[in-house]
Chains A and B, each alone.
Chain A
Amino acid sequence: MGRYVIRRLLQFIPTVLGTMFLLHYLTSLAIQFSGNPVRALFGDRTPPPALLEALTERLGYGDACLDQRGNPCFGLFFDRLQAIFLHFDFGVNLRQQLPVTQLVADALPFTLKLLVIAILFEAVIGIAAGVWAGLRGGSFADYAVKISTVFVISVPIFVLGLVVREFVGVKFGNVLRAQDWIPDVISVGVVTPGFKADYPFASLIIPGMVLGAVSLATTARLTRTSIMENIRADYVRTARAKGLSNRRVIGVHTLRNSLIPVITFLGVDIGAAMAGAVVTETIFNVPGIGRLVTLSARSGEAPVVIGVVTMLVLVVLLANLLVDILYAVLDPRIRYE
């Protein structure tokens, strides 16, 4: 087990370096082809050349290779690697000149909260609905879950987000806010068109649910299929024949085995949820990582994009590793050497 984890951790190195180079190359190409992003800061006012140069240098866009189209800028790449790995210096962003590490540290708690809410939501509701439908194949419950998940799965997250913001956050929320008896936590905190600093947790519930909604459908359907398959398996029949209670048969024997594909999905989904956060956080004004990436990609801020996406890659890699280790816990037949 220990050796397996170490081997996996060593595999992180080429993956992370490869990602960083790709990001570096893409952002350098963007600058080579669409101009110095520092010039755009000044807009219609042509800045004095001395000022433009001082600022370009300070923000890290001064390398001469950024003027040569197609140049992969290896020199700049090694400078960046050196700064990141030796000095933990990811550079600064364009407008505020704040260190990327600080931007990420500020944004991360919001995204983590959002992800926890989303994953909890899709895991709890999704697995419950899947079990409910799976145990009663062909019944009303089964059809209800199947049909409702088709609805959820066919709506893209940006549509769902906008619709929820408009109709739940604004319209329904305004009705609630007009009622005196509803506590503020509900009417102002939870049912909100966006994140609020006054309700740092309550106001993330709806964005988190929107983020988790699409994967919720997949989770429910995976659980359903898996349960239906396992319920007919020999070991379940054996368990029943032993005279175990129904709760133990379902809860321990069937569910534990049925959850393996679901756990895989949830683990991989953390990465997908990060991508979804880019959309949800922008719609619901959550000051997290997703909104940070959106804004910096729009203004072509190479250091921020490289820094943040590298960290996201690490998160996805770690999540996948955790999932693989969880397999062993769930299924004693799986061993890592």
Chain B
Amino acid sequence: MRGKFLKVAVAATATAMLATACGGGSDDSSDNAGQSGGTLRVYNAEPAFLTPSGGDDEPSLYVIRQLYRGLVKYNAQTSAVEMDLAESVESADQKLWTVKIKSGYTFDNGEPVNADSFIRSWNFAAYSPNAQNNGYFMKRIAGVKDLQSEDPDGEGPQKAPEPKAKELAGLKKVDDLTFTVELDAPFSGFPTTIGYPGFFPMAQACVDDIAKCNETPIGNGPYKIDGSWQHNVGINLVRSEGWKGEAGKPDRIEYKIFADVDAGYAAFQAGELDVMYTVPPARYKEAKATYGDRMFELAGDSFTYVGFPVYMDEFKDKRVRQAISLVIDRQSIIDAVFDGRFAPATGYVAPSFEGARENVCSYCTKDAAKAKQLLQEAGGWPAGKKLTLWANAGAGHDQWLQAVGDQIKAELGIDYELKVNLQFAEYLETADQKKFTGPFRLGWGPDYPFMETFLYPLYGSDAGSNNSGYKNPAFDALMKEGDSAASMQAAIPSYQKAEDLLVEDLPVIPMWWRKEAAIYSENVDQFVWNAVADADYGATSLKQN
């Protein structure tokens, strides 16, 4: 097949129209779906972990999502929650959830996928001495605090004691295929959270020897590992005969591991990869020109914002914050600095999310006259004081932040300085300790497709990632109202009201959403992009000949 490169190229040009028509993430009807078979070769970076409890970064999740399956999955276009291994996930009070699991599913080693396999996995993740990255996601389940040990003297010589409990008090097995989950507080969005790989089940054999399970995963999904994880080289998956659900399209998925995205792009150009879920920023324009109809683009849900240290006197008045946001022309910066790889943000919730509204933020489009007036009403900017703009070093943020500073200086006459010398680790520690002395760049990606993930974790009074120090009891109350609404749909109006408070108070300036750009080769028949889980390799089909 590789020898027939030119013929394939000609054929592909001829069917280019067709390919775009049915490619690009449209997997709506099964009769229209591509044929199964073939080997899909995909770009990947080296994953961190291949266990559901450990893997929380993009390269890990891409592999885990094909090896494992969870209670629910997400619709490719609408990101709506659909039952996967679960028969039902129901609650009367949004606090005590009953989960019923379909029977007949097994792990690759023959162990059944039952209530125990989920309880085991969640307990293992939450127990802090296990130091699993996804322990974070268990935070809503009742009793999670008892599984986390606190060091009595911080950095001192004493070791942290054993946690009080080994198992989450909120998880109770009812029968083999039923268990209940009690949350600390009502949360209507619970069903959306459990489609995240951190909530996927684990076999007893896996938990018993987690190191081995990481190298040779014992999955329960449509694919299983062929051999074991070849670190820094590749991971090969083949169809799993034990899988009872909808089968994957390719017979085999080969993840080729690259340390450098440019090296991956060169391999794609040389025809060695079928899918690259990302494109090197510097090659974006070229890739778009070369692979135009084989490039898939979507305004994603990766959020960049410039936060205000609301704990500082200068930024306490919301009119100052509004004025600064009003002088930023987002689109011009995106075009000049990023070749259009972002979409301007006009609200706090990703546009693809249910309940998101366009142009909800009236201070997010440029209006210099209004900005000057607001700043004047607020009493102006302290004379002679420089505005310090913060970003972490070495990630290319200084360029666009300078553009932001220039626009502020030009319209409002506020002189600025850049503080862009902190490495990422120290920068994040500065954020955790609330030591920023001026507007700071940070980002956010959703944990699950539910409006709440963009609101409470960043702006709730006691939320972990609330780096601006914003506190608004009305906001907290509205979030609580949404959390305890009767259903996910019923929660949306409350969350929207909460977002309305944010667009008025502006604790952070919404900047832009990253556009996802993936490229695929001529061998690919239908490329499927899931709005939540990103590139879906199991659903992507190859041309058969």
Contact = CB atoms under 8 A, between A and B. Distances in A.
B152 to A, nearest CB: 11
Query: Chain A CB within 10 Å — which of B150, B156, B270, B428 has the most?
Result: B270
B428 A54 contact: no
Nearest to A94: B48
Nearest to A291: B259
Interface stretch (B3-11, B336-344, B405-413): B3-11
B160 A53 contact: yes
Contacts of B291: none
A50 B160 contact: yes
A177 B7 CA distance: 12
A180 B230 CA distance: 31
A196 interface: yes
A14 interface: no
B131 interface: yes
B355 interface: no
Interface size class of A (residues with CB under 8 A): 35 or more
B3 A35 contact: no
Interface size class of B (residues with CB under 8 A): 35 or more
A156 interface: no
A174 B272 CA distance: 10
B465 interface: yes
Contacts of A292: 232
A295 B5 contact: no
B184 interface: no
A285 B260 contact: yes
A47 interface: yes
A295 B260 CA distance: 10
Interface string B258-272: 111001101101111
Contacts of B400: none
A54 B160 contact: yes
Contact of A48 (B3, B267, B444, B464): B464
B426 A34 contact: yes
Interface stretch (B99-107, B239-247, B417-425): B417-425
Contacts, number: 163
A159 to B, nearest CB: 14
Contact of A34 (B2, B136, B422): B422
Interface string A160-198: 000001100110011001111000100110001110110
A188 B131 contact: no
A40 B267 contact: no
Nearest to A180: B3
Contacts of A166: 266
B443 interface: yes
Contacts of A178: 3, 5-6
Contacts of B467: 46
B335 interface: no
Contacts of A103: 231
Interface in A1-54: 33-51, 53-54
B131 A55 contact: yes
Interface in A37-81: 37-51, 53-55, 57-58, 64, 67
Query: Chain B CB within 10 Å — which of A54, A58, A173, A180 has the most?
Result: A54
Given A40-B425, A45-B464, A177-B3, A54 B128 contact: yes
Interface in B107-163: 128-129, 131, 133, 135-136, 139, 148-151, 155-156, 160
A34 B432 contact: no
Given A35-B428, A44-B445, A285-B259, A107 B232 contact: yes
10 contacts: A37-B425, A38-B425, A44-B465, A173-B270, A193-B269, A194-B263, A194-B266, A194-B267, A285-B260, A287-B257
